[in-house]
Structure 1
């Protein structure tokens, strides 16, 4: 090997060693290349509406089973099955012939009783004049007075019989006791029915407004009342608004109102019932539908919402999350979480204003490690990362933003920002 070739070989070896140092990360450029990038969400306090999502079913606000009050043969059905009826509408007609005859007989008996009254009245008046002349005995006058009283009693009894016959005759036309939607008829014309039979002819349900009966656990009730007593939650007010999520996941367009909550808890299930009332002008809601009621229970001021995707559990079962601090280092904290609000946790401890919580890439880092933070936006409906801002957020930039948000705008204005 010549003397001139040796320096060239040494230079080549030096270049190879330098390249290896850069690839294994021992040099400054390798350390920067190995710094992982994570997506973060900056947390800020806010007023959070506490909403309980409770399962339940719709029920009619009024239900009436239609039964005959007199016996006979059904002549006609007078309503359209499945249609709307109003209170007092005729639904069925029972053969009225026998009841019409009973009514006519009662009217004849009344006329007979009324015809006996004038004769008895005249006899009493005549005896009252004759007794002054001692032409009749006192006993005869008493008998005449008793006969008049009997005639008047017969008239009263006959009037009652006429009224009973009239009522029974009216009962041959079966009318709707309430307004609402009528079900199918269980019997057809020609069927024999009896008074107050067990089988209902049809059922009417009032579904505007419609009720929603939901169940709430007693544990959630205790937690809510303790939070209100401690001042962590402010109650929404006397008129509590209720929304409804239907079986297909859509939200019912009309809001309801809370009617009442039971005053006792079931010993078997540990729950109590809550009823809400919803307007239903389009008859979209039908009795028996499975729904979920969204009840606004109160408002938590100065609270933090932490994305659920950012929270995990440590070996002790405590909820934890990873943060990127002001120095650009990853740190792990134990959180105090409450109930879920959408795809987030309501958090009351372990977080502060302007904290940057890692929502994506947590598996690439560990506590104490430096990381580049990229601001992300979470889709509230799915809980997934919707978009990321281009470029990372240096640690000193985050610290300056935190100082400005805490101390207010700088007195030097834009010039000071440009100087920094």
Structure 2
């Protein structure tokens, strides 16, 4: 009778072990996929560039002296003819007074010579004086006239020098920070000679350098359109924050020679700047189209795996089963890769979570459109 509980316990254990646990089926994981697209691709290249005003006119001190006045607000627009600076005019006023005195003396000498000649001419007609005396009187008059002209030139010169003490704007534009303050001696090195700069910025000049190969590609297009009296291809300006300037520019100058030290050539383009957003001195990048692929196949760069120099994507196949497919790249294009072979337009590839998928995995595809971070 004591063995019965043990028998019952063993029977229960055997009965429980005889039951089999059925496996729990898991749903395929959701994975974001995107279609391979085909479109015209303009292969572009960026070049480091520096920006200048349409005109950048230095304001120079053309005469020496102490700076007496500054008559503008820095960083504001000025009009052509506006008074910008005044230099102490007193030394130059004295020079003008001295020149005026010399002119007065020359005029007195001329009057005396004219009077002498007026007396000698009647006497010469009646042979009361010799021809030699008459000739001498004529020479003195001409000499006095020359002295008056020379003295008048000195007066004009000194007035011009005096005018340099009032420095006016040669153009209408934006003026910068002054390089000299009131009381400084200006007009002689090492003291300030260039006091400021006025720039026209309703459009800007952008200068950049091309290698010889890039120059040949870009300039052939420029020359072709220029000869046909058409505008060459547009250039885009990429600002320091990565944004694309909302106005296009065009090449308007190519330097005459290649720099033998760097193997590059200077290119200048002009961009409209109606909002005055761009300022001289900024650095930016010029984006130019080097060539065009009519039906380029594009794949987002983040959808591509690289292993030992080979590139792969995960292709969604029949039954939503993933296949690892090798692709050949032509090169990068913005945040895409331009594909030479391996996939076709319309194929769906895994966009995100490449580390979580594998060959043969069945997924639940969630189709999304890839949004490029680059602006057109």
Same fold (TM over 0.5): yes
Alignment check: 8 A CA contact 1:207 1:287 kept: no
Alignment check: 8 A CA contact 1:207 1:280 kept: no
Alignment check: 8 A CA contact 1:68 1:196 kept: no
Alignment check: 8 A CA contact 1:106 1:165 kept: yes
- Cross-structure match for 2:195: 202
Aligned residues: 348
- What is the SS of the residue equivalent to 2:269? strand
Aligned 1:398-409 pairs, distance under 5 A: none
Quick one: distance in 1 between partners of 2:219 and 2:244? 30
Alignment check: 8 A CA contact 2:33 2:367 kept: yes
Quick one: distance in 1 between partners of 2:320 and 2:220? 36
- Cross-structure match for 2:299: 306
Q: Does 1:257 align with 2:250?
A: yes
Query: Structure 1 residue 161: deviation in Å?
Result: 0.9
- Cross-structure match for 1:110: 103
- Cross-structure match for 1:147: 140
Alignment check: 8 A CA contact 1:319 1:337 kept: no
Aligned-pair Cα RMSD in Å: 4.0
Q: Does 1:378 align with 2:358?
A: no
Q: Does 1:284 align with 2:277?
A: yes
- Cross-structure match for 1:43: 36
- Cross-structure match for 1:82: 75
TM-score (norm 2): 0.73
Quick one: distance in 2 between partners of 1:153 and 1:136? 26
1:127-175 per-position Cα deviation (integer Å, ceiling 9, x unaligned): 5555454443332232122112101111210110110121122122122
Alignment check: 8 A CA contact 2:204 2:273 kept: yes
Structure 2 spans left out of the alignment, 5+ residues: 1-13, 222-229
Quick one: distance in 1 between partners of 2:67 and 2:361? 87
Structure 1 spans left out of the alignment, 5+ residues: 1-8, 24-29, 229-236, 383-420
Cα gap change, 1:204 to 1:274, in 2 (>3 Å): same
- Cross-structure match for 1:6: none
Cα gap change, 1:324 to 1:52, in 2 (>3 Å): same
- What is the SS of the residue equivalent to 2:235? strand
Alignment check: 8 A CA contact 1:245 1:294 kept: yes
Query: Structure 1 residue 71: deviation in Å?
Result: 2.9
Q: Comparing both chains, which one has the higher relative contact order based on Cα–Cα distances under 8 Å and sequence gaps of 6 or more?
A: 2
TM-score (norm 1): 0.67
1:189-223 per-position Cα deviation (integer Å, ceiling 9, x unaligned): 3334455764236312415133333455556556x
Query: Structure 1 residue 348: deviation in Å?
Result: 4.0
- Cross-structure match for 2:205: 211
Match of 1:172 among 165, 174, 183: 165
- Cross-structure match for 1:241: 234
Alignment check: 8 A CA contact 2:44 2:333 kept: no
- What is the SS of the residue equivalent to 1:295? strand
Match of 2:336 among 335, 344, 349: 344
- What is the SS of the residue equivalent to 1:377? coil
- Cross-structure match for 1:395: none
- What is the SS of the residue equivalent to 1:156? helix
Alignment check: 8 A CA contact 1:85 1:176 kept: yes
Higher mean C-alpha displacement, 344-353 vs 36-45:
36-45
